[in-house]
Amino acid sequence: MIALSLVDLAGVVSGRIDEREGVSKILAGPVVVDSRLASEGSIFIAMRGETTDGHEFAASAVAAGAAAVIAERDLDIGVPVIVVADSLVALSTLATEVVARVRALGRLRIVAVTGSNGKTTTKNMLRTILETKGPTVAPRGSFNNQVGAPLSMLGIDNDTEFLVVEMGASAAGDIARLVSIVVPDVAIVLKVGLAHAGGFGSIDDTAKAKAEIVTELPPDAVAVLNTDDTRVESMAALTKARVVRFGLSERADVAAADVETTVAGTGFTLVLGEERIPVRLRLLGEHNVMNALAAVAATRELGVEPHAAITALGSMSRAERWRMELLQSPDGITVLNDAYNASPDSMAAALKTLAEITRGAHRAIAVLGEMAELGSFSDEEHDRIGRLVVRLNIDKLVVVGHRARHIHNAAGLEGSWDGESVLVQTPDEAYDLLRDEMRAGDVVLVKSSNSAGLRLLGDRIAGVS
């Protein structure tokens, strides 16, 4: 974070300094809300959660080196405490001010990304490309909510040239609040799908929430839209910003052709008007072609030449831990560990990738768990995935957990299977079953929402500790 005096910090967040000693202290350390992440010189913001109260951990943060605390009540913990009415509001207000001060220096450019799927991968692609051009700050992991996104923004300093912000939403207004903190120079919308549909109620409501990222953009900003998704394409009419389109169709300004996915990676031809550029990604799946197109389109608007962007993308060995991560076991088994998150669209994309890279040359095994947060769509969407498994000719299906049972049931109804689909209740049961059945050359996809706990099963199958 940029350097602020304690008094300046208190003024920014409209807080009262509880301890006068050290008010002239200059603070420039990281801002944290988890006491376990506190370090020397950090600023700890005590926040009340649904099940925990950060005020109870303020002393632990100080013991780890925190130089100041922002809290909603007085605390006697040996460092200055800034008392505010609402810690979450204080976090947002601080992020707004820090971004504004760095922007005033004239160097900082901001790119934001949202979508039902692909946000984190695209964010990592943007960071990989932009780091080749100048100092870049982007969140680690999926810091994309009302707490995580402002924390990421606070990672900038006066030398930062590019800030990448991932904007997620679980309800209407979430993205609008993030945009109010930091108005992007370039905003990307990847896709509108059923991820978190339980919170929105319908896919149309999801589209309205995602559109919040472009509706308040100024005319000198750029909206980068997936023209292959009709709901995203319709957002062009909602923004005053200049629109750049990406996709597989001829309407796209930044397009892809000749897409090919193998176990070694994904290839395609980047089409920019009359120019055609061969691209080779080490990441698997056609969905990563769309993410790459979005990243190239956005960074092109930020001054990165497409050939340089492509070279940077070619260096990425994985999208993120547990996101379509390619692992090789000592026994010759290939594992696609994609069990950090799951939605109907990402589940279908992963299964299609599994089918594509095996193509009858290798046995395809799908280990699938629950897709969470689908609300009333849950049974129908799990059913649809089970039927898709059969239609893609996946050789073996292992479904883990009662909440994913409709995948197993639908697969059995769709095809005349005899033991190809098995329902087990725990990851341990799945591992015991697979240990006896897997053989060298098999390709195993492990896919579920994080809550299903299958990501460690993927590591275990691959022999990764």
- Distance, CA of 49 to chain centre: 22
Distance from C-alpha of 207 to C-alpha of 307, rounded to nearest angstrom = 33
Distance from C-alpha of 421 to C-alpha of 397, rounded to nearest angstrom = 5
Is position 117 annotated in a ligand binding site?
A: yes
Half-sphere exposure for 117 (CA within 13 Å, toward CB): 29
Is position 118 annotated in a ligand binding site?
A: yes
Is position 128 annotated in a ligand binding site?
A: no
Q: List all residues 6 or more positions away from 179 whose beta carbon is below 8 Å from its beta carbon.
A: 112, 167, 212, 213, 216
Is position 343 annotated in a ligand binding site?
A: no
Residue type for 117, please? N
Distance from C-alpha of 370 to C-alpha of 440, rounded to nearest angstrom = 27
Residue 10 in tokens: 């208190």
Grouping H, G, I as helix, E, B as strand and the rest as coil, residue 422 is: strand
Q: Which stretches within 104-167 are classed as H helix? A: 119-130, 148-153
Grouping H, G, I as helix, E, B as strand and the rest as coil, residue 14 is: coil
Residue 303 in tokens: 């001054």
Which residues in 58-87 are b (16+ Cβ under 10 Å) and which e?
Answer: bbebbebebbbbbbbeebebebbbbbbeeb
Nearest 5°: the CA angle 286, 141, 370 is 65
Distance from C-alpha of 433 to C-alpha of 330, rounded to nearest angstrom = 18
CA nearest to 115, candidates 44, 181, 196, 47: 196
- CB atoms < 10 A from the CB of 91, how many? 25
450: DSSP letter: G
Contact assessment for residue 295 and residue 124, using Cβ atoms and an 8 Å cutoff: no
Is position 116 annotated in a ligand binding site?
A: yes
Strand segments, DSSP code E, in 42-160 are 43-45, 68-71, 81-83, 109-114, 136-137
The position carrying tokens 């000749």 is 258
Residue 58 in tokens: 């303020």
**Sheet of 109-114: strands edge to edge?**
136-137, 162-166, 109-114, 186-189, 222-226, 242-247, 254-262, 265-272, 275-281
* Known binding residues: 115-121
- As annotated, the binding site for ATP includes 115-121
